[in-house]
Each structure stands twice: as structure tokens, then as C-alpha cells.
Amino acid sequence: MTVDVVAVALGARSYEVRIGPWLIDRAGAEIAPLLARPRVAIITDDTVAPLHLDRLTQAFRAEGIDPVALALPSGEATKGWAEFARATEWLLEQKIERRDVVVAFGGGVIGDLVGFAAAVLRRGVRFVQIPTTLLAQVDSSVGGKTGINTAQGKNLVGAFHQPSLVLADVDILTSLPPRDFLAGYGEVVKYGLLGDAAFFDWLEANGPDLAHDRAKRQQAVLRSVQMKAGIVERDETEEGERALLNLGHTFCHALEKATGYSNRLLHGEGVAIGCALAFELSQRLGLCAQESPSRVRAHLRAMGMKVDIADIPGDLPGAEALLALMAQDKKVVDGRLRFILARGIGQAFITDQVPADVVLGLLNDALAQRAA
Ligand code: GLY
């Protein structure tokens, strides 16, 4: 059994991401060196708990560690003040102390919420991420962005709080519904598109095998985490380069908002559509050859993913309304929309020099495909 290790070098906040098969069975041994006393508090959700919580708690008990656990409702609605208050108060009831470790065991919602609870509990306790979705393994569990949603928007309240360890168990991903696995793949492709053309080549050849081939799955998680770790090391608090990780996200956030953050469009699906639109926009602006958006779309199609706005079921607002939703994105600086565009596959860059009429033309054409 090979465990890959990616070091995230952030001075006093450095940590490792360990990636391997059935790592949850070794969670007790992996986390024990971090503990000041043999006790951990696990927060998970009610989808993950029935599938995997017993296995995780046994792994702690096998090392003489006493686990206590709380399962929150699964779904994006959990990532708000009410469940955040419940989680932090439960941690206090469990008498979690400053030197204790909290474990976030779930997808992005649990990781973000529990990370934020750990950031503010007793002015900051350490936490370990055990991400159970592909999206959380390759993106949200690494880099220390934590937070919750409010009535005003997504992730508007939060903190940078790096985990002390991330355990990415590549076998736990086999219990994901295929649609969720594929949605997470949207974030994997993003890394190839933004900065590693050779990885995109590899994904074109191997992407369809990831769901059933553990070694390739581990390779894809490893390369994604290596890229994320490098970017976070260079720009922890998103002053510059880290914004590249938002490739496809300005379009995605508008589409998610337009579909009410519902099952009509999962986040990773929106990222995939957003990446295809970002490459199309780059081509229309003369930044890259037509071959690039064609390759992006062909690969996403070959994976069986949503590629076009036309693939989103149900009604959508018009192009002007979508552009207005994009303008509400929290990445807007001084009222100017910032886009991640590309000069080719693996060559993304950040710009706020995008004429609104070109974006409107792109959205109008994409929406017209729905009617066709
Ligand atoms: N998910 C984007 C970032 O971590 O910066």
C-alpha cells in the first residue's frame, strides 16, 4: 500500500496531506502524534456517518483514543449560522480544550464549517480534515479556507485556518454516487487547465478510468493536491496567484445562484461548464486558438459531464441577468469583474480587462443553444 505525502509548507502552519487507500483505518495512528490527550471530537454528516463512521471510530479506539461524534444534516443548507452554532456549542459541551484536535469527516460543507468552528473555538483549536468526496480531497480540504454561507451569499463569513493534517482516503471515494464523483472531477480537470498541460493530456487518456482504478485515482488526487499546495504556499491568503483556482468559478457562481444552489447543478458541474465558458471566452478574445476550447469540451463530454449551459435542466434567466449575478461575485474588485482566462491549456491568468459585451455575446449564444 503506497501512501503519497504532499507537504504544504507554510512556516508554523505547515502540514501534510497524506493520500492513500483506506486511510481512515489508519486515522488513529496518523492522528495520535498530534494529540495532547487520547480524545478526539469528530463532526460528520448523516450521509457519511452510516457508511463510514463506525470504521473511523474503531480506528481511533484501536489506538486507545476515545472518539466522540456529531452528525449534522447533509447538504449545503447545513453550512449556515444555525448548524455552525450547534457544532461549536456541541464542541464546548464535549469540553474540547485548546490543545485538543477536532476532526472534519465529510465533504466540502463539513470541512468548511468544522474548519471555521475550529478557527474560532477558544480562539482557535487544531483540526484534521478527512475529506470523503473527490471535490473535498482535491480542493476544499487543502489550503485553509473555512467558513459558512449567509443570507447575503456563499462563504461570506469565515477565516483562513489551516488544518494540522489532511487524510485523503482514495478508497472511500468508491462509495460516492457517480454524479458526485464526476462533479468532483470538474475540480480535477481545472488543475490541468489552469497550469499543467501534461496533466490534462494524462486526464484525457486516463480520466474515464478513475472511478474504478485506484492507482490512477490516487495519481489524479496527488497531482491535484501538489498543484493546490504549491499555489497555497505561494499565496496563502489569495492576494494574487491563488485566484487562478477560481478558473470557471465566476460563471459557475452565477449559474449556481440562478439555479438556487439546487440539485439542478452541483458545484463541480458548474465548475466544468464554467471552465468550458472561460476557454470559449478566451478564444473569442483572441487569446487562445479554437483548438483549446474544443479540447476542453470534448474531454468533458467524453467523461459524461455537463459541458454547456444547455445541459442544465429547467429555466434560466437571460444573459443580462446572468451577467448581473456574475457581478455580485465576491471576486469583484472595485466594481470590475475579474476573470480567469487562458492562453492555452495549462496557461491560465487573471484579468479584469474583459469587455462586458463579449461576455454578454457568449452568454446569449450559450442560452440560445437551449432554445435550439
Ligand atoms: N477553492 C479555492 C481556494 O481554495 O482558493
The predicted-structure confidence for 272-310, as pLDDT tens digits, reads as follows 999 999 999 999 999 999 999 999 999 999 999 999 999
Catalytic residue, chosen from 79, 149, 246, 269, is 246
| pLDDT given at position 372 | 64
Quick one: three-class SS letters along the chain?
CCCEEEEECCHHHCEEEEEECCHHHHHHHHHHHHCCCCEEEEEEECCHHHHHHHHHHHHHHCCCCEEEEEEECCCHHHCCHHHHHHHHHHHHHCCCCCCCEEEEEECHHHHHHHHHHHHHHHHCCEEEEEECCHHHHHHHCCCCEEEEEECCEEEEEEEECCCCEEEEECCHHHHCCHHHHHHHHHHHHHHHHHHCHHHHHHHHHHHHHCCCCHHHHHHHHHHHHHHHHHHHHHCCCCCCHHHHHHCCHHHHHHHHHHCCCCCCCCHHHHHHHHHHHHHHHHHHCCCCCCHHHHHHHHHHHHCCCCCCHHHCCCCCCCHHHHHHHHHCCCCCECCECCEEEECCCCCEEEECCCCHHHHHHHHHHHHHHHHC
Q: Is the CB of 147 under 6 A from ligand 1?
A: no
Q: Does any ligand 1 atom lie closer than 6 A to the CB of residue 145? A: yes
Average pLDDT of span 218-237:
98
The ligand 1 atom nearest the CA atom of 245: 2
Q: Where exactly are the structural domains of the chain?
A: 4-172, 178-371
Q: Is 52 a catalytic residue?
A: no
Ligand 1 atom nearest residue 145's Cα: 4
Over 70: is that where the pLDDT of 193 sits?
yes
Check pLDDT > 70 for residue 222: yes
CATH 3.40.50.10860 at 4-172, yes or no: no
State how far the Cα of 273 lies from the Cα of 305, in Å rounded to an integer: 9
249 lines ligand 1 (CB under 6 A): no
More confident site: 180 or 334: 180
Cα 299 from Cα 279, distance rounded (Å): 13
Check: CB of residue 193 under 8 Å from CB of residue 343. Answer: no
Nearest 5°: phi and psi at 44? -135, -165
Residue length of the chain: 372
Give, in degrees to the nearest 5, the angle at Cα 27 between 25 and 28: 105
In angstroms, how far is the first alpha carbon of the chain from the final one?
51
Our answer to whether residue 39 is catalytic in this structure is no
* Ligand 1 mutation pick, 228, 233, 253, max ligand atoms within 8 A of CB: 228
Cα 63 to middle of ligand 1, angstroms: 33
Instruction: Please indicate whether residue 267 is annotated as part of the active site.
Output: yes
Pocket residue to mutate for ligand 1, from 10, 139, 235, 338, most atoms within 8 A of Cβ: 139
* Per-residue pLDDT, 298: 98
The residue whose CB lies within 8 Å of the most ligand 1 atoms, and thus the one to mutate among 129, 246, 247, is: 246
Give the pLDDT band of residue 153 (cuts 50, 70, 90): confident
Give me the mean pLDDT over the 214-231 stretch.
Answer: 98
Fold of the 178-371 domain: Dehydroquinate synthase-like, alpha domain (1.20.1090)
- Using pLDDT thresholds of 50, 70 and 90, give the confidence band for residue 371: low
- Measured from the Cα of 139, ligand 1's closest atom is 1
Angle at 168 between CA 236 and CA 171, to 5 degrees: 155
Report CA(325)–ligand 1 centroid distance (Å): 20
What's the pLDDT score for residue 259?
94
| pLDDT tier at 261, thresholds 50, 70, 90 | confident
**pLDDT digits 0-9 by tens, 305-354:** 999 999 999 999 999 999 999 887 656 666 678 899 999 999 999 999 99
Q: What is the largest CA-CA distance in the chain?
A: 63
- How remote is the C-alpha of 318 from its chain's centroid? 28
335: left (phi over 0), alpha (psi -120 to 50) or beta: left
For residue 21, what pLDDT is reported? 97
Residue 354 C-alpha cell reads as 474583459
- pLDDT (mean) for 153-170: 96
- Spell out the residues 6+ positions from residue 349 whose beta carbon is closer than 8 angstroms to its own: 244, 340, 341, 342, 343
Measured in Å, residue 136 CA sits from the centre of ligand 1 at 11
Model pLDDT, residue 335: 66
Active site residue 190: no
**4-172 and 178-371, same CATH topology:** no
Residue of 18, 26, 249, 297 with catalytic role: 249
